[in-house]
Amino acid sequence: MKNHRQVFQNEQKNRGRLLITCPDQPGIVAAVSQFLSNHEANIIESSQYSTNPEGGDFFMRIEFECPDLESKKSVLREEFDTIAQTFSMEWQLFFVKELKRAAIFVSKELHCLRELLLEWESGDLMADIPLVISNHPDAKDFVESFGIPFVHVPANKNTRQEAEQQQLELLEEYDIDVIILARYMQILTPAFVEAYSEKIINIHHSFLPAFVGAKPYDRAFERGVKIIGATSHYVTNDLDEGPIIEQDVKRVNHRDQVEDLKKNGKIIERSVLVRAVKWHIDDRIIVHENKTIVF
């Protein structure tokens, strides 16, 4: 079977991405473009956003092609830092060939996990998935059928610290860049969240900020809602209040029971989570305060 990731890495070996946040002022775009031009880089895609041209914040994402990029990595970082200091930038430089390494956390509901692994197998989710961690054994056979290690780490409110210590050791061992909570039904401790700040992506089965927490479909049914939704967001210590990455909705009516809402909700959840993960691994998201800019 063709290894989609190896083909991608070979094709993208000279592709880089810049993410920039700074106070808005004249000359930013010109300085960045000139810097890339000086290194024979060709801009493939450029997106920018300003909260207010007079005294606001400026955000920018540039994707570029640069000959012999591998040999220029350290020089690019060193020389761009001078520009960054001039404009008080927060910036990140990514090399597309270096795929992000994602760990998936899951409990008993497997629909989001299935969607992620099928997208990964087809080459439409361009990341490495070195392992799946679960507090239940239910997903073991399915995960291992993809050749991905499955690790069962029992976790509940009484064993949370011990479980998280084991999880953190696994994440370090496998050199994980991003954690995907694919309906992982455990609350993470502040220490765990801090260790992977802005690198934990969750799917919540509600159109936030409505119905935060457990059993949102039951509460939506009780309120007689006419629209159900799902929200993917970065995890913070405030439950279901992290920066929102993506959302979607579906109309329902008075004939739909709780199980109907859950069935339709699963369809929304898996597509919303996959889109959010793809945007993260494609370096399309800048987190600013408690919001996201998604290019």
Active site residues: 240
- Strand ranges for the chain from DSSP E: 15-23, 42-50, 57-65, 90-95, 101-106, 128-134, 150-152, 178-181, 200-204, 227-234, 244-251, 285-288, 291-294
Q: Which residue has the tokens 């795929």?
A: 99
In sequence order, the 6+-apart residues with CB closer than 8 A to the CB of 213 are 239, 240
Q: Is 213 helix (H, G, I), strand (E, B) or coil?
A: coil
Written as one string, the DSSP assignment of 154-187 is ---TTTHHHHHHHHHHHHHHTT-SEEEESS--SP
Q: What is the CA radius of gyration of the chain?
A: 21
Tokens of 8: 């991608």
Structural contact between residues 48 and 59, judged by C-beta atoms closer than 8 angstroms = yes
Written as one string, the DSSP assignment of 40-72 is T-EEEEEEEEES-TTT-EEEEEEEEE-TTHHHH
Q: Is 119 helix (H, G, I), strand (E, B) or coil?
A: helix
Contacts 24+ apart (CB under 8 A), 261-266: 261/217, 261/220, 261/221, 261/228, 262/205, 262/217, 264/228, 265/205, 265/217, 265/228, 265/230, 266/109, 266/111
